[in-house]
């Protein structure tokens, strides 16, 4: 874990918009003074470097504001302030402690998200390095499973978290669902049970699916943006799995599971990744550790970022960061940018 994690975000109470407003107002004032100076002196094509008190004053202001910004952040955060979108990522990290050792911080630096939805954290906050349990510059909510080293979700946000709820109205001892309100959006980190280990777990998965749908329907109707992201452990169509024929009887690709997620989407939830890439084969978000599935990109798409109608109005782009699935986890992060 790099020591510079705390410098990834500004330690300040001033908002991005306030900084930008101050900065660009200063730039505007400087240009105005230049034009005003030139109107009262030589033509702009012939003038020399301005030396008036007005120019000196404006240059000082620009240096002052720029200095404040640089004091509180890295250059990449300055660029983030000026961007026109909010970046949300969802990532099943397959054990956060292992992901930290493998260098997940480098990928977070590269992706530079505003909100992160983690699944399969497999750790209590006190089991993590202090800079991860309570990372400087982030607002964090943890929802670990009662069973140590198992399942669990978490949400990190650059902005304050105003509301948080766990579960879907029933007891959630496995840390499957975490819902927060932050940055004027509602986000949910979901880790749907897997049924691949046997009939008992498949039955548990299907019970969970039945409970999840009416809970999600209530969120869908909100007038503000809502995004549900996470590992659903279900492939939607044959476009989302490399070996469709060979997995027809496998949990995660069973006909009734695919119908369930199809009904979820038909009810009004938007699959932002599929809508962005169109009707193509792939991309995939999970790869088996067997053979060369990961290396050859023979995977499944079981990780989603879904949004309601209000979120769909703000969608800018969506993609999968495959590199994260090559070196950190058996899952790759899914990214959505909102305008």
Average pLDDT score over residue span 12-21: 48
Average pLDDT score over residue span 92-121: 97
State if pTM tops 0.85. Answer: no
> 């109107």: which residue's tokens?
39
> 């991309």: which residue's tokens?
283
pLDDT of residue 291: 87
Lowest mean pLDDT among 68-77, 150-159, 203-212, 233-242: 68-77
> 């979901």: which residue's tokens?
190
pLDDT > 90: percent of the chain? 72
Contact 324, 333 (CB under 8 A): yes
**Buried b / exposed e along 47-76 (16+ C-beta atoms within 10 A):** eeeeeeebbeebeebeeebeebbeebbbee
**Nearest Cα residue to 301 out of 221, 247, 224:** 247
Average pLDDT score over residue span 55-81: 53
**Nearest Cα residue to 24 out of 74, 72, 69:** 69
E strand map for 47-119: 86-92, 115-119
Contact 186, 225 (CB under 8 A): yes
| 176 CB neighbour count, 10 Å cutoff | 25
CATH number for region 84-338: 3.60.10.10
pLDDT at 121 over 50: yes
Name the token pair of 188: 């949910």
Angular region, 241: left φ>0, alpha ψ -120 to 50, beta rest: beta
pLDDT of residue 50: 43
Q: Where in the chain is the domain with CATH 3.60.10.10?
A: 84-338
Contact 155, 178 (CB under 8 A): yes
pLDDT at 323 over 50: yes
Average pLDDT score over residue span 117-144: 96
pLDDT > 70: percent of the chain? 76
Average pLDDT score over residue span 4-14: 34
**List of residues 6+ apart from 164 with CB closer than 8 A:** 141, 178, 179, 180, 181
pLDDT of residue 248: 94
**Nearest Cα residue to 227 out of 297, 304, 152, 168:** 304
- The number of residues in the chain equals 339
| Beta-bridge partners for 89 | 116, 335
Can 3 be counted among the known catalytic residues? no
pLDDT at 182 over 60: yes
* pLDDT band per the 50, 70, 90 thresholds, residue 85: confident
Euclidean distance between CA atoms 255 and 330, whole angstroms: 24
* pLDDT band per the 50, 70, 90 thresholds, residue 63: low
Give SS3 for 153: strand
pLDDT of residue 28: 61
Average pLDDT score over residue span 108-134: 96
Torsion from C-alpha of 204, 208, 210, 211, nearest 10 degrees: 140
Euclidean distance between CA atoms 302 and 252, whole angstroms: 8
| β-bridge pairing 185-191 and 226-231 | parallel
Q: What is the pLDDT of residues 262-296, one digit of tens each?
A: 999 999 999 999 999 999 999 999 999 988 999 99
E strand map for the chain: 86-92, 115-119, 139-143, 153-157, 161-166, 177-182, 185-191, 226-231, 270-271, 303-307, 315-320, 334-338
Contact 251, 196 (CB under 8 A): yes
* pLDDT band per the 50, 70, 90 thresholds, residue 54: low
Euclidean distance between the first and the last CA atom of the chain, given in angstroms as a whole number: 31
Average pLDDT score over residue span 55-78: 54
Options 114, 172, 186, 231, the catalytic residue: 231
pLDDT at 72 over 60: no
Q: What is the pLDDT of residues 32-46, one digit of tens each?
A: 555 555 454 444 333
**List of residues 6+ apart from 244 with CB closer than 8 A:** 238, 253
* pLDDT band per the 50, 70, 90 thresholds, residue 52: low
Task: Return mean pLDDT, the chain.
Answer: 85
């Amino acid at each position: 874990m790099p020591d510079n994690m705390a410098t990834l975000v500004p330690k300040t109470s001033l908002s991005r918009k306030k900084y930008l407003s101050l900065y660009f107002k200063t730039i505007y004032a400087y240009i105005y003074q230049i034009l005003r100076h030139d109107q009262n002196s030589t033509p702009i094509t012939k003038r020399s470097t301005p030396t008036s008190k007005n120019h000196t004053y404006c240059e000082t202001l620009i240096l002052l504001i720029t200095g404040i910004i640089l004091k509180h952040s890295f250059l990449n955060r300055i660029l983030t302030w000026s961007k026109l979108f909010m970046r949300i990522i969802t990532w099943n990290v397959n054990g956060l402690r292992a992901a930290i050792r493998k260098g997940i911080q480098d990928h977070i630096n590269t992706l530079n998200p505003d909100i992160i939805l983690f699944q399969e954290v497999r750790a209590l906050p006190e089991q993590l390095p202090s800079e991860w349990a309570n990372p400087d510059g982030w607002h964090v909510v943890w929802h670990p499973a009662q069973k140590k080293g198992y399942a669990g979700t978490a949400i990190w946000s650059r902005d304050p978290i105003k509301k948080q709820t766990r579960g879907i109205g029933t007891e959630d001892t496995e840390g499957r669902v975490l819902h927060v309100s932050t940055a004027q959006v509602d986000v949910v980190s979901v880790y749907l049970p897997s049924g691949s280990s046997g009939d008992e777990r498949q039955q548990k998965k299907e019970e969970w699916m039945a409970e999840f749908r009416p809970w999600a329907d209530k969120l869908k109707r909100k007038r503000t943006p809502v995004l549900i992201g996470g590992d659903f452990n279900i492939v939607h169509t044959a476009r989302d799995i490399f070996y469709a024929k060979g997995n027809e009887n496998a949990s995660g690709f069973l006909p009734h599971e695919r119908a369930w997620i199809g009904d979820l989407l038909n009810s009004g939830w938007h699959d932002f990744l599929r809508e962005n890439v169109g009707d193509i084969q792939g991309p995939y978000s999970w790869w088996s550790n067997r053979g060369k599935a990961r290396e050859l990109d023979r995977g499944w798409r079981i990780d989603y970022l879904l949004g309601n109608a209000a979120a769909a109005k703000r969608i800018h782009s969506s993609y999968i960061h495959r590199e994260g699935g090559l070196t950190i986890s058996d899952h790759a992060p899914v990214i959505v940018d909102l305008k």
